[in-house]
């Protein structure tokens, strides 16, 4: 459950494209990084190419409005010149920009437009790239079956055409989708396949990304020593390559390992290092994530005022960005701190907001967390019928998800409340 920390599976794509840059790894948020191979056999003409690259450069530095302006100008020129290849590239990049800014319906629309042209042109790499990014959008919106189908299509096309870099990308993302669904053994298998190809091709950025994700699986499964080992391997590669975004992401995750081990001073130190770097880079999403985890750490050591301050700072950024998943996670933790400080009305307000967003996103894990905590709030308020109703709603979802440990905890809560009702 997403009870003590921001959900590891939550992500956005901070890459520029399937088809641009060298082997640089780009990470979304704290957990999800990806190798982007060199564009091959793509040459949009003249001004289209120049404006496309300007847009990519703006996108890398989080200047999304300026990136969109450059892409839009490039798209108009490509269409005016009937440059179908250039049009497909720019449409693809506009899709990625909307993906980064949580406009998922718009992102899918542009990927589909690009995909249609790539198929018309017989460009297998571009076709695979659009399936790949569609899969990312589907996973971000908890449409896991559609995500897996899209990544499988991307993988098949890459393998059929001997595109080893594209194959590594797709394998990595299939692994991440299994991880999001808590299928950890399957995720590790796909990460292992991806890592083998990345090492074979010398794609060190992709290697760092995959090592990072393996570390996150070990964190998720409480194998903290192994998590630190893989994170440190990833961190060393990122520092060697000068990948400061990736460095900030892995520093954040090392902080989460220390937090899980109750080493709160060490956790805060790593989160603050991540925060400094994300602010220097202008990475607002990374900044929000660091503030979120700093708030969670303060909550764990009962420094509730500082916890709320950090969580509210993160919440403001998430709302500014339109990061609905991050907003839901932070609201849940604000609700938890409010519960711990006996501010029950604020707790219910925050938990109900979190629940509404998770329902909108289809995040069943988040829904279960909100129902569970809402039940605790009602229990503390002696509103036992409402408590039992919320616990039952949480329990149903936990059984659907197969989360037996939390299910046992909720059953114990239900028995406690029933005992109180019987004693009245």
The DSSP string of 216-234 is HHHHHTT-HHHHHHHHHHH
Bridge partners (DSSP) listed for residue 26: 34
Q: What tokens does 61 get? A: 């530095």
- CA-wise closest residue to 251 among 208, 284, 312: 208
Report CA-CA distances (Å) from 422 to 288, 415, 417, 418, 419.
45, 10, 9, 6, 5
| Separation of alpha carbons 1 and 309, rounded Å | 24
Q: 46: pLDDT confidence band, cut at 50, 70 and 90?
A: low
- CA-wise closest residue to 323 among 334, 332, 314: 314
pLDDT digits (tens, 9 = 90+) for 13-23: 333 344 433 33
Phi and psi of 27, rounded to 5°?
-115, 135
pLDDT digits (tens, 9 = 90+) for 277-332: 999 999 999 999 999 999 999 999 999 999 999 999 999 999 999 999 999 999 99
| Separation of alpha carbons 111 and 81, rounded Å | 21
Backbone angle region of 72, left / alpha / beta, with phi > 0 → left and psi within -120 to 50 → alpha: alpha
> Looking up tokens 């020593």, which residue turns up?
225
Q: What tokens does 348 get? A: 């219910």
Q: What tokens does 291 get? A: 């503030």
> Looking up tokens 């406690």, which residue turns up?
416
**Would you say residue 25 has pLDDT above 90?**
no
Set out the domains of the chain in order of their start, with CATH numbers: 342-424 (1.25.40.10)
Helix (H) or strand (E) holding 35: strand 34-35
**Would you say residue 43 has pLDDT above 60?**
no
- In 166-280, DSSP assigns E strands to none
Q: What tokens does 402 get? A: 């197969």
> 3-class SS at 176?
helix
Q: Do residues 86 and 45 lie in contact, with contact meaning Cβ atoms separated by under 8 Å?
A: yes
pLDDT digits (tens, 9 = 90+) for 159-213: 999 999 999 999 999 999 999 999 999 999 999 999 999 999 999 999 999 999 9
**Would you say residue 396 has pLDDT above 50?**
yes
Entry field: residues in the chain = 424
What percentage of the chain carries pLDDT values higher than 90?
84
Report CA-CA distances (Å) from 207 to 11, 35, 186, 297, 416.
19, 8, 18, 30, 49
Q: What tokens does 70 get? A: 């450059």
> 3-class SS at 10?
coil
């Amino acid at each position: 459950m997403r009870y003590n920390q921001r959900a590891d599976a939550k992500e956005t794509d901070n890459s520029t494209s399937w088809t641009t840059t060298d082997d640089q790894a780009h990470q979304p948020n704290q957990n999800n990084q990806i190798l982007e191979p060199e564009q091959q056999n793509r040459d949009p003409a003249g001004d289209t190419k120049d404006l496309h690259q300007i847009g990519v450069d703006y996108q890398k530095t989080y200047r999304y409005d300026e990136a969109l302006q450059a892409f839009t100008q490039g798209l108009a020129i490509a269409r005016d010149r009937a440059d179908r290849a250039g049009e497909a590239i720019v449409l693809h990049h506009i899709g990625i920009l909307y993906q980064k800014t949580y406009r998922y319906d718009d992102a899918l629309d542009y990927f589909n437009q690009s995909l249609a042209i790539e198929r018309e042109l017989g460009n297998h790499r571009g076709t695979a790239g659009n399936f790949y990014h569609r899969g990312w959008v589907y996973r971000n919106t908890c449409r896991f079956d559609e995500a897996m189908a899209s990544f499988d299509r991307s993988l098949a096309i890459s393998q059929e055409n001997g595109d080893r870099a594209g194959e590594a990308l797709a394998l990595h993302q299939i692994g991440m989708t299994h991880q999001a669904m808590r299928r950890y053994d399957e995720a590790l298998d796909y990460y292992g396949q991806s890592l083998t190809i990345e090492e074979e091709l010398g794609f060190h950025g992709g290697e760092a990304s995959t090592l990072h994700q393996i570390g996150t699986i070990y964190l998720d499964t409480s194998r903290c020593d192994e998590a630190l080992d893989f994170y440190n391997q990833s961190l060393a590669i990122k520092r060697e390559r000068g990948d400061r975004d990736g460095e900030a992401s892995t520093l954040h995750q090392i902080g989460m390992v220390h937090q899980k081990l109750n080493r709160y001073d060490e956790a805060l130190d790593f989160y603050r290092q991540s925060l400094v770097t994300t602010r220097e880079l202008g990475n607002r999403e990374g900044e929000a994530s660091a503030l979120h985890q700093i708030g969670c750490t303060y909550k764990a050591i009962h420094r509730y005022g500082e916890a709320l301050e950090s969580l509210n700072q993160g919440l403001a950024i998430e709302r500014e960005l339109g990061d609905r998943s991050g907003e839901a996670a932070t609201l849940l933790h604000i609700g938890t701190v409010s519960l711990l400080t006996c501010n029950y009305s604020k707790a219910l307000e925050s938990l109900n907001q979190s629940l509404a967003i998770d329902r909108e996103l289809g995040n069943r894990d988040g829904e279960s967390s909100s129902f569970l905590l809402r039940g605790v709030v009602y229990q503390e308020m002696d509103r036992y019928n409402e408590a039992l109703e919320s616990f039952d709603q949480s329990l149903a979802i936990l059984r659907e998800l197969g989360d037996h440990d939390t299910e046992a905890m909720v059953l114990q809560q239900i028995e406690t409340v029933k005992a109180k009702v019987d004693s009245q």
